[in-house]
Amino acid sequence: MRSSIKYTAAITLLLIMTGCIKEDGIPPKDSNYSSLRNLIANNFSFSLWYEAMQQAGVDTILDNSSNGYTLFVPDNNAFAKSGISRDSLRRISAAELKKMVQYHIMTGTTISAGIPQALNYGYTALNSQLLYTSTNQVDTALYINGVAVLQKDIMAKNGVIHALGQVLTPPPPTVQDLLTADPNYSCLVAGFRKFGIWDELRKPGPMVVLAPTNDAFAAHNLDEAAIEAMNPAEYRKAAFSAYLMDPVFFFIPNVFMAPPAGPFIQGDIYLLLERGSNGSDLRVKAVPWNYRSVEMQNRSIFYGDWVNFPFTSPGKLAANGIVHQAMDLYMIPDSVRIK
Amino acid sequence: MKRITIYIGYIILLVPVFSGCYKYKEPEMEPDAAYFRVFNSVSTSPDIIQGGNISTFFTFLMDPETDEKGIPVNATVKQDFFTTRELYSASYPINSGNSSEGHYVVDFTGRKIFSTTPVNFDYPGNAKVLTAPAINGFDMSAWAQVKSGKHRIVFVVRPKNNIPFTDLSKEIRSQVVIDTTVNYEKGEVYTMQILLRNMDKAEYGLYMRREKFVQEAFEDNKIYVGFVNLSGQRPRLADLGYYNLFPDKVSINYSFSTYQNAPTSEYTPLPGYNRNFYSTLATRMDTSISFMTLPLLGRDAFFEKDTLRNYFRVDDRNPLKAPATLPYADFYFSDGERPGGADGLFRMQCLANPSVLNTYRYGPFQGARSGTNLMPLLNQVVNANGKYHIYGTLNIMEIVYNKVYMMQIQRAINEVPK
């Protein structure tokens, strides 16, 4: 009887001594991931992207076995949203397509946790142009050039994929190039030339142009000819300089990751930037510097009404700035006519 | 047979006893020690169109090891998850015991806001390092020992998550905002802070002050208070009225009041301590501080029939709460450029309980604004061994843009003054 107690005690003690397994360190990284090629070739929603890569001859990187690559892959919906179909994809020249595809790729495996919590942090893409990542503690979603990443960290054996909601376009050298390339902005270009602002758009920047379209000008009875006929001496420069913000750099969806504490001061006017009433756009209004004074505080419109910029339009990027499309004028030139 | 079994029993018992614990080596005292403490006094939120767009969450590294590209990898002396300092900090690690609930603050609606990440408010804070001994009669256990001489100081902006610095990507580790070299002299005490030099351009700087209070002679029966202005360049929006900040030249007056039960129940300033002028802080980033003196009052001021009098309850929003009755100091801030009227712009009342001040967000000093801002009592009231001890203190008040940070250094008087 007594010996059985001893044995039990001895066995219990032995169990206590050996009961825990001491593991050292973190378990090794799971290397059972599929390869980049497997992931992309077998995913139907990446089929257009895969075709683009093959057509551009960039798909060899999918088989790399070195440091890996980070791919920002627009899915088929993203191509559709950017107006690129299978057909039009085939008509893009090989050189242009290669540049475009390479702009979505960077060397090394960069998972989302490895991206700094900062706005517009620049990474160099394969075509040696800059890609801007934005994420912070207010909005932990990841944005690439203002385009939201739909799914982060699709891990592969030899890289990582982040799925994008829109196709990225490699940026031209200056904001001037962006504006001249788009016939929708011919009125704004005419105004910038007339008021001596045009050359500023070639400077290194950074800058943001909140660009009203020709339709926006037409709504206020202005066309290219009318702007050509304006005499700059009869207007304050703000008539057109209000559309250029300098020096700032932001994508519309990222403004609320770091909301402005006050207005942006541009020359002799203020630009108010705030979240629109529906919560999913940014709205901008131009006001005079004394808009909060006693005689002004009950007035709501000075130069133009609020103009909304939807979060879904990331803007067009150039190497020295961004162009965001405005559907209305927040600075009506006639409101700053010198009487 | 029986004895053998007993021996085996002993052996089985003793093996786990001797092999169960890992014996940590005690760190060795530094023979040529200097002492230092680090704060993060940056409390701005990111703003995309003016000022920076990074968060104010840092890793502090001393003499970091770097990789071949010069990017910091690790350091033996470091403070990770380094967030903006709390309004009140004592001269000993008040955060050394962590709450089982985690760190939280209580906001204006009474809701607890938990921190989802580890946070450190200063270095050494609750780090397990050797600290300074009592110097000049002050409790200095919030200053860490370091070998005197030159040291490289690096601050890196880090994401607000719970990944330790060494596991962060090299892109994140290369976001260095401060990289400088400082020189510590043997036996000296240093307080260092990361500060904004220019808010519009998001330029950071390191402020280092050699603490002279460890050499100065102080009287036992007094409380000492000194102010220093550590604001950087005034932001453009402040002049336009979008921020409420302390003026460039801060003029400070002070009163010291006690609660009188008769003839009416109210506070009365002590004779000679009614809106006295202290100083106008004409320069910023000063490294020498001149102290004002306040009396260390007797027992009656702190007790009413052997019961401790009341603090102002920052943890209670009910307007019908018990009124405060402890003696307190008041500070009045006004613009040194526009003299006239001691009421000035802001008022700060040192009447709160320091142990809860940092947690509650509706009573304490919220920033430069009209009305009364509360900060902790200038006397330290400590209940130990069933007895209250009232300590005189030395207080360094640091004005940073719109906030006043209070560093209270306990003076070793271990009894209730007679």
**Averaged over B58-66, what is the pLDDT?**
95
Q: Are residues B184 and B243 in the same domain?
A: no
User: Is residue B8 one of the residues assigned to a domain?
Assistant: no
**pLDDT tens track for A81-120:** 888 999 999 999 999 999 999 999 999 999 999 999 888 8
- Does B356 lie in the same domain as B345? yes
Domain's final residue, options B217, B239, B258: B217
> Do both B399 and B273 map to the same domain?
yes
Do the Cβ atoms of A262 and B242 come within 8 Å?
yes
Within a domain: B23: no
With a cut of 90, say whether residue A218 has pLDDT above it.
yes
* Average pLDDT of chain A, as a whole number: 88
Indicate whether B150 and B192 sit together in one domain: yes
Name every chain B residue with its beta carbon within 8 A of the beta carbon of A10.
8-9, 12
Please give the torsion angle defined by the CA atoms of residues B295, B301, B303 and B305, in that order, rounded to the nearest 10 degrees: 150
Chain A residue numbers with beta carbons less than 8 Å from the beta carbon of B5 are 6
CB B395 within 8 A of CB B225: yes
- Is B204 domain-assigned? yes
pLDDT confidence of residue B46? 81
**Residues of B at the A interface, defined by Cβ within 8 angstroms:** 5, 8-9, 12-13, 15-16, 45-51, 53-55, 57, 157-161, 163, 168-169, 171-172, 175, 236-237, 240-243
B135 secondary structure, DSSP code: B
DSSP secondary structure, A40-63, as one string: HHT-GGGHHHHHHHHHHT-GGGGG
The shortest CB-CB distance from B13 to any of A13, A120, A250 is to: A13
Flag if B12 and A116 touch (Cβ within 8 Å). no
Domain end (from B170, B199, B217)? B217
Tens of pLDDT along A285-339? 999 888 888 888 888 888 989 999 988 888 899 999 999 999 999 999 988 888 7
Contacts of A152 in chain B (CB under 8 A): none
Asked if B183 and B161 sit in the same domain, the reply is yes
- Which ipTM value was assigned to this complex? 0.83
Optimal mutation site among B12, B21, B43, B48, interface A, most CBs of chain A within 10 A:
B48
In a domain, B9, yes or no: no
Provide the percentage of residues in chain A whose pLDDT is more than 90: 59
Return d(Cα A70, Cα B333) in angstroms, integer. Answer: 55
pLDDT, mean of residues A270-286: 87
Q: What is the pTM (predicted TM-score) of this model?
A: 0.87
Chain-chain contact of B16 with A262 (C-beta, under 8 angstroms): no
State residue B342's pLDDT score.
46
Q: Which domain holds residue B303?
A: 219-418
What CA–CA distance (Å, rounded) separates A123 from B180? 26
Whether residue B392 is contained in a domain is answered as: yes
| Domain assignment present for B309 | yes
Q: Residue A184's pLDDT is what? A: 92
Q: Looking at the structure, tell me whether residues B42 and B105 fall in a common domain.
A: yes
Check pLDDT > 50 for residue B372.
Answer: yes
Judge whether B15 lies within some domain. Answer: no
| DSSP string of A169-209, one letter each residue | -PPPS-HHHHHHH-GGGHHHHHHHHHTT-GGGGGSS--EEE
Residues B344 and B392 in one domain: yes
Query: Domains in chain A, ordered, with CATH?
Result: 36-164 (2.30.180.10), 175-336 (2.30.180.10)
Query: Could you read off the pLDDT of B393-415 as tens digits, one per residue?
Result: 999 999 998 889 999 998 865 54
**Looking at chain B, which residue has its C-alpha nearest residue A254?**
B48
Express as a percent the part of chain A with pLDDT over 70: 94
Residues B406 and B320 in one domain: yes
Reported as a single tens digit per residue, the pLDDT across B242-261 is 888 888 899 999 999 999 88
Count how many domains chain B has: 2
Q: What residues in B contact A273, CB-CB < 8 Å?
A: 49
Query: Mean of the pLDDT values across residues A23-34?
Result: 62
B97 plus B107 within the same structural domain = yes
Residue B287, pLDDT > 60, answer yes
Say yes or no: B136 and B256 in one domain.
no
Q: How far apart are CA A330 and CA B3, in angstroms?
A: 99
Q: Distance between CA A142 and CA A135 in Å, rounded?
A: 5
In 3D, which of B411, B394, B321 has the Cα closest to residue B360?
A: B321
Closest in B15, B55, B240 to A262, CB measured: B240
Last residue of a domain, one of B217, B240, B265: B217
- Whole-number Å distance between alpha carbons of A32 and A51: 26
Report the pLDDT averaged over residues A122-144. 91
Q: What is the mean pLDDT of residues B17-26?
A: 69
Q: Do A248 and B237 lie within an 8 Å CB cutoff?
A: no
Residue B105's H or E segment, with its range, is: strand B104-106
> pLDDT, tens digit, for every residue of B318-336?
778 888 999 999 998 888 8
Residues B232 and B373 grouped into a single domain? yes
B131 lies in a domain? yes
Which residue type occupies B18? F
B262 and B142 together in one domain = no
